[in-house]
Structure 1
């Protein structure tokens, strides 16, 4: 089960660019339910996600590069590309922000996600000021939705 909150970021924390990052490329074979393929640096995955906004099932299956490239050609919409920075959550050593800085069609878009162990912890979480707007429950910034829009 994946339990996460998502935030729109308009002014990211200072110095984030100096932190290590992973390059991510992903595309969607289906959006209801979500079935995506992803390249994360030199790793490849097929992911299934059930319906939901804050909490939903998620399964990742490893792929090799050949299978990934084959499935990528069958994807609907556009391929999303982003750099993912991992940032500590102040005062919460058990939590990490995934700061996604988009490239390509969504150049300039920055989203932050935090995964939680429970729905209660997720609801009680107070984000830092650099998280401009909570977009968890709107669904407007779900990657599967962004891939189907024009950017």
Structure 2
């Protein structure tokens, strides 16, 4: 039996940066996101629930930095609400802004709320490792934290802001 809503496994290639100074947000699409984790930060995989606008998704991601395997499956609101209580100790809330870089690449800027208020991260996805490695980030992107596990959303949801 197959599920046509199930997204087959893909490799996600992305870089993540710690934003110190926000760019102009006027004209960017903004959506509220809440997500929770069903797995611990010490687990080798991540299972995440995400609600963005009216859409709910369950995602499985492998461990990793620049490259990770990702499988997404849309779920119903009823399914989301059934699993949501199990994420009580590992949740984040943020507003996600989508924008375009002069190169044509899309960025996702996350401005966190709640216990993570003040944290801002921006991510860019790439079609290849070579493209990711040759990427020159705009100044406002700040420090590259792609390989810094302290800035993984799952870890942030469980342990809060990293100590400096």
- Structure 1 ranges of 4+ moved more than 3 A: none
Greater strand share, 1 or 2? 1
Listed as ranges, the gaps of 5+ residues in structure 2 are 1-10
**Contact 1:30/1:76 (<8 A) preserved:** no
C-alpha displacement of 1:77: 2.4
Structure 1 match to 2:59? 47
Structure 2 match to 1:82? 94
Tell me: CA distance 1:141–1:17, structure 2 relative to 1, closer, same or farther (3 Å): farther
**Contact 1:34/1:49 (<8 A) preserved:** yes
The aligned runs of 1:97-108 (5 Å cut-off) are: 97-108=107-118
Match of 2:33 among 19, 24, 46: 24
TM-score (norm 1): 0.93
C-alpha displacement of 1:150: 3.7
Mapped to 2, the partners of 1:24 and 1:64 lie a distance apart of: 16
C-alpha displacement of 1:56: 0.6
Mapped to 1, the partners of 2:132 and 2:34 lie a distance apart of: 27
Mapped to 2, the partners of 1:150 and 1:130 lie a distance apart of: 23
Listed as ranges, the gaps of 5+ residues in structure 1 are none
Match of 2:70 among 58, 69, 74: 58
Mapped to 1, the partners of 2:31 and 2:57 lie a distance apart of: 14
How many residues are paired up? Answer: 148
Q: Secondary structure at the match of 1:77?
A: coil
